[in-house]
Amino acid sequence: MAERIKASEKFKRDRVPMKEQDPKERINNFNEVPYGYSFEEAIKEAQRCLQCKPAACVEGCPADVHVPEFIDKILDEDIEGAFKEIKLTNALPAICGRVCPQEEQCEGACVMNKKGKPIAIGRLERFVADLARDKGILDEPPAESSKASKRIAIVGSGPAGLACAADLAKLGYDVTIFEALHKPGGVLVYGIPEFRLPKAIVQYEVDQIKKMGVKIYTDYVIGYIKTVDELIESYDAVFLANGAGAPSFLRIPGENLNGVYSASEFLTRSNLMRAFDFPNYDTPLDVGKRVVVIGGGNVAMDAVRTAKRLGAEEAIIVYRRSRTEMPARAEEIEHAEAEGIQFELLTNPIKILGDENGKVKGLECVRMELGEPDESGRRRPVPIEGSNFVMDVDNVIVAIGQNANPIVARSATGVETNKWGYFVADEETGKTTHPKVWAGGDIVTGAATVILAVGAGKKAAKSIHETLSQK
């Protein structure tokens, strides 16, 4: 049992930093950047928790993780207890502990945040999940249930699908996930790089969900091999969690030149297909000396940091607004800066230039200044006349967001979509316009975060259970 410290002492102490790989080293490898807390560090951080009742952090968590309870069990040095406490509501703790934007959720809501020193809940969650995995601590198996006769189909094995599957399996349902790619995990395997989320960890958490009895069919594209309408006929409920999935391009000249990638392609080649390990893996990726990534979100940071690791001497973010408007997490931007990523802010690309072989050689941009706020509340960037200039570049990676992929939707006749092609679903329950169909994650909200998808999966599971229990 670790010592409980006095409240006054709690306020005095600072957040325990998490050690990480030296930036000079890590730009040469794909190993994870932060090392995670040691036991001592975790105890020291856990001691700062005020154990609020009710707890604002739990309110701030889309997965309703019992934060004070699991932190208290860390202080009891009861890792198994802490792990089970987290697993009560979150099937993916090692993943969420790494990729959630905690500053906007649990840690943003933490009382200590008023002092700028919120409890490092994400790091503690990760610590518990990692230690449990190392020690082989397993969650309770789901109880045998009479509900096993009710069958649920889930389209997509990303965070929304996995979270929904885990909660329904716990309740005793017979759950089958259909995954289009050859590996389960969705964006967790094709989108997020190894250095932020090791794929072995994703695999482990997916395996735990399989052990709960969830079946996962990979290489199974709903919309082609079976329609959603067919799933509706043979299952008691269907949850659509197929992700946003269609990359947006800039619609500027030169976008189809060789050397131009969508961030989705660039990251899928590297993450899912392991192009970073070419030629041990067969999928190639062409990365030159100067790589520009267009965009300011988390995906842009993932792409630019991947480019650096793949040998780009200069890896540059081009973003049309200023740093304050960048939608990427502060931590991602800081990591990128530490790795020597350059930022061309208030800069907008207008044309990609190619050589005689159809390969990228330059990017014409224009400088921007911030004008009046637009409908998003952010100040609208406007071009500065006559400020055009050309950057010499070998690759251009477009990371400006995604559109709805139409494959699943066009095979779901009774399920309404909005004008952008996203499913219309109730925010609280995930219910769609079809009584047997629920939807959640990016295919409802447009590209968002892993944890919001987890939250949507959980809400849908709850609503599916309530609906099927009434029958």
Partner 1 sequence: MAKILKKEQWSDTIFSMLVEAKDVAKAAKPGQFIILIPKEHGERVPLTIADSSVNEGWVQIVFQVVGKSTLELSRMNEGEELFSFVGPLGMPSEVEKFQGKVVMIGGGIGIAPIHPIAKKLKEMGNHVVSIIGAKTADLLIMEDKIREASTEVIVATDDGSKGKKGFVNAVLEELLATEADNVSKIWAIGPPIMMKVCAISAGKFNKPIIVSLNPIMVDGTGMCGACRVTVGGQTKFACVDGPEFDGALVDFDELMARQRQYKELEQKALELYKSKEGVA
Residues near partner 1, by CB under 8 A: 180-182, 190, 218-221, 224-226, 245-247, 249, 251, 255-256, 258-259, 261-262, 264-265, 268-269, 273-274, 278-284, 286, 357-358, 405-407
DSSP letters spanning 230-276: HHHHHSSEEEE----EEE-----TTTTSBTEEEHHHHHIIIIIS-GG
Q: What is the 3-state secondary structure (H, E, C) of 395-430?
A: EEEECCCEEECHHHHCCCCCCCECCCCCECCCCCCC
Closer Cβ to partner 1, 249 or 389, answer by number: 249
Q: In a 3-state reduction of DSSP, which class is residue 12?
A: helix
- Spatial neighbors of 26 by CB under 8 A, at least 6 apart, are 20, 33, 195, 309, 339
Minimum distance between the CB of residue 251 and partner 1, rounded to whole angstroms?
Answer: 8
- Spatial neighbors of 9 by CB under 8 A, at least 6 apart, are none
Minimum distance between the CB of residue 196 and partner 1, rounded to whole angstroms?
Answer: 19
Closer Cβ to partner 1, 180 or 212, answer by number: 180
Phi and psi (nearest 5°) for 55?
A: -95, 120
CA distance 186 to 191: 8
Which residue shows structure tokens 């207008």? 350
Minimum distance between the CB of residue 19 and partner 1, rounded to whole angstroms?
Answer: 33
Closer Cβ to partner 1, 347 or 405, answer by number: 405
CB-side exposure of 111: number of CA atoms within 13 Å?
A: 14
- Spatial neighbors of 324 by CB under 8 A, at least 6 apart, are none
Closer Cβ to partner 1, 36 or 259, answer by number: 259
Contact 64, 58 (CB under 8 A): yes
Minimum distance between the CB of residue 283 and partner 1, rounded to whole angstroms?
Answer: 4
Helix locations, 290-417, DSSP H = 298-309, 330-338, 406-409
Cα radius of gyration (the chain): 23
Closer Cβ to partner 1, 248 or 387, answer by number: 248
How far CA 398 is from CA of 209, 273, 278, 280, in Å, comes to 34, 19, 22, 27
Closer Cβ to partner 1, 78 or 286, answer by number: 286
Closer Cβ to partner 1, 140 or 277, answer by number: 277
Closer Cβ to partner 1, 21 or 248, answer by number: 248
Helix locations, 61-185, DSSP H = 67-75, 79-87, 93-99, 106-109, 121-135, 159-170
Q: What is the 3-state secondary structure (H, E, C) of 161-214?
A: HHHHHHHHHHCCCEEEEECCCCCCCCHHHHCCCCCCCCHHHHHHHHHHHHHCCC
Minimum distance between the CB of residue 279 and partner 1, rounded to whole angstroms?
Answer: 5
Closer Cβ to partner 1, 56 or 407, answer by number: 407
Minimum distance between the CB of residue 278 and partner 1, rounded to whole angstroms?
Answer: 7
Minimum distance between the CB of residue 304 and partner 1, rounded to whole angstroms?
Answer: 18
Tokens (6 digits) for 117: 């020193």
Minimum distance between the CB of residue 256 and partner 1, rounded to whole angstroms?
Answer: 6
Minimum distance between the CB of residue 31 and partner 1, rounded to whole angstroms?
Answer: 20
CA distance 465 to 452: 20
Minimum distance between the CB of residue 14 and partner 1, rounded to whole angstroms?
Answer: 43
Closer Cβ to partner 1, 198 or 421, answer by number: 421
Closer Cβ to partner 1, 54 or 279, answer by number: 279
Minimum distance between the CB of residue 280 and partner 1, rounded to whole angstroms?
Answer: 6
Strands ordered across the beta sheet of 342-344: 260-262, 395-398, 290-294, 314-318, 342-344
Longest dimension (CA), the chain: 72
